[in-house]
Structure 1
């Protein structure tokens, strides 16, 4: 009996240690300090922007401005120096799912040209302008829905984005076979490269080599990341993969393995999407001593799916400072978002959503919607 009590006691202690370690692991901390005179910047990221039918129809019947869906979260974007979104699906004017061009059919929802259901998505290109006006500075468009309007859909999406000066990554035009899948942008005093990729294309053929795949040629991905990160005009590289298993809160073995390979190759941070639910973040220290970040999935930002897990997303913030010729992460933060009806809101009082986000991202680095971002990023002790 005494041995059984001792065994149960040890088992309880072990389980407590495991659970405590897991909880602590969600509260990521970085060693780099904020000092006067530094060149510091902040970046923000959101997860899947997937305009399902109910949301799309509400926009058509309402303001005909897509930002009516996410307008309550605009202040979360504009508090960062540079904001990145993941647009899941093409924004190709007039193109149906067979890749045929019908021209400008107007701002409608018809399930032929513009659709948000049945695993086939296409948005009126006005969505690009609306995202830009809400504070988004760059979009990754490499995902499993990129080819929902065939090759022409990618071409038209890029053309529409270029017309308003909004950079896109992870895709390229059919006529530009050697165009890069990344963009290097100036943010404050830093030069940051953003690279998008996708795990799959839902069976659609990428016959014109317009999509960058995360796993199809991993050795080429490693070489590409190494080449970009070693450029003299690049201070940091952010990889934006569309990957993982839908509705799973834990990253799969490929996500874990390739994340480390790509960080070792030179990436500064990896910010993932696709599972439509949150997956955790973690700090990873490379063999050369760099502190890097993996956020496996930011969940849904805009989506019409049901349930707390699929209605809760996070805005992730990343603080970068230039030291010794390279950018280092000095802090992270996140703010949960939640869909109520056909609108997205910052979470302030929804206990269930807050607890769900904290179970994967911890509570220490949660920034209130009206919180001062840079001061929070610089804080080391909470």
Structure 2
């Protein structure tokens, strides 16, 4: 009787749910300062120091079934490639380090796609493929650029698309079947009459959603350094979600914008993150923490976004089962390294929850302030830790506040997008 009951209990048991964990990060930008920070640690590993730069966030990336970031640079592989304050190129060691840190996929449809001209895009594809890093957002033809990249995990087929609303004045080849093509939906089609409209993009998203269990769309949009989404981007996000996307992940403003849930007319629960900020960059390098400093440093506030996708059972639809915000701060000791020559330049995105815990535990091991009056070294150590803890706690709270949902604003038209001019040089070191 026991085997019979055992078989019956197994047959009647509800099928286990399938679940996929995704993690998304913001812009990865190889500013000169970031390259210098990597070179300063080049002797410590085999990835020219880029593994050290990414080390603090690697545990979160590796824990995900699929981790995605926006790669805001070509990777030409040419050490003589021309670069400037707003013209980027990264060494092939960067994509290899991203893979080592746990990144599975990068989005490449962004305003810096053509920084190394048209030839730089196929070179980037080749270097990403050599690193084993998947990419989406550009391809040899327009149709291929809008093909979803579908990755299967735990029996769930997750599709990814990447598109940009900015190309910094560059253009796709006029012929749709001539390489390279970037998935492009400009705000105005006056200079790019052949470019897709938002309505056409929504229809392509609808078609892509039919080819996978869940579709995630990354969009490069908005106005730099502005915390509110553009009204037309809100409209596009809803159109893409209504068309079948389960989430829309935004980047380009280089500061944080709201993360909001949205229920479609069909009753699906979806999510839009308008901007995850910079994940690795050298903006606001001059930030000094102190009273009144909250408004500064916002280009160093960042976020890793966790999304949980779930299928309740065979044949059931895949739903958005949960999301979580992981606050990140781009730590930068540039000012210290300038004053103290023994300090090497260091730029790293750090997990603020872990940083707060570490600093609190370290402070608990030190004597109280009243007990350090005669010990200059201990007093200085405690003061430094208290300052670092105050920074971590304040930036964490600010990140969570900036990403709160907001009402759709009845705002005036957004200012024109800033282009790379000489006056921006000091900001983007």
- TM bin (shorter chain): 0.7 to 0.9
Kindly indicate whether residue 172 of structure 2 is the aligned counterpart of residue 206 of structure 1.
yes
C-alpha change, 1:177 and 1:357, in structure 2 (3 Å) is closer
Kindly indicate whether residue 81 of structure 2 is the aligned counterpart of residue 113 of structure 1.
yes
* Structure index of larger Rg: 2
Give, in whole Å, the separation in 1 of the partners of 2:309 and 2:82: 39
Kindly indicate whether residue 151 of structure 2 is the aligned counterpart of residue 171 of structure 1.
no
Once the two structures are superposed, residues 167-207 of structure 1 have per-residue CA deviations (whole angstroms, 9 ceiling, x without a partner) of 1101113xx55424331111221000000001111012222
The Cα shift of 1:332 comes to: 0.3
Give, in whole Å, the separation in 2 of the partners of 1:143 and 1:220: 19
Give, in whole Å, the separation in 2 of the partners of 1:286 and 1:214: 22
Give, in whole Å, the separation in 1 of the partners of 2:107 and 2:97: 16
**TM score, norm. by length of structure 1:** 0.77
In the alignment, structure 1 segments of 5+ residues that lack a partner are 1-34, 95-104, 106-111, 364-382
Partner in structure 1 of residue 111 of structure 2: 144
Higher RCO (C-alpha 8 Å, min separation 6): 1
C-alpha change, 1:145 and 1:36, in structure 2 (3 Å) is same
The Cα shift of 1:248 comes to: 0.8
Give, in whole Å, the separation in 1 of the partners of 2:138 and 2:49: 25
Partner in structure 2 of residue 230 of structure 1: 210
User: Equivalent residue of 1:278, what SS?
Assistant: coil
Give, in whole Å, the separation in 2 of the partners of 1:362 and 1:222: 26
Give, in whole Å, the separation in 1 of the partners of 2:199 and 2:245: 15
RMSD over aligned Cα atoms:
1.8
Give, in whole Å, the separation in 2 of the partners of 1:243 and 1:263: 16
Give, in whole Å, the separation in 1 of the partners of 2:214 and 2:64: 17
Larger strand proportion of the pair: 1
2:324 counterpart (316, 326, 333): 333
Contact 1:47 1:85 in 2 (8 A): yes
C-alpha change, 1:177 and 1:239, in structure 2 (3 Å) is closer
Partner in structure 1 of residue 162 of structure 2: 196
Contact 1:43 1:82 in 2 (8 A): yes
Once the two structures are superposed, residues 6-60 of structure 1 have per-residue CA deviations (whole angstroms, 9 ceiling, x without a partner) of xxxxxxxxxxxxxxxxxxxxxxxxxxxxx97100111000001112111112212
2:351 counterpart (346, 350, 372): 346
User: Equivalent residue of 1:56, what SS?
Assistant: helix
Partner in structure 1 of residue 300 of structure 2: 311
C-alpha change, 1:74 and 1:36, in structure 2 (3 Å) is farther
Aligned length: 308
1:49 counterpart (9, 16, 28): 28
Give, in whole Å, the separation in 2 of the partners of 1:72 and 1:160: 24
Contact 2:54 2:97 in 1 (8 A): no
Which 4+ runs in 1 deviate beyond 3 A?
none
**TM score, norm. by length of structure 2:** 0.69
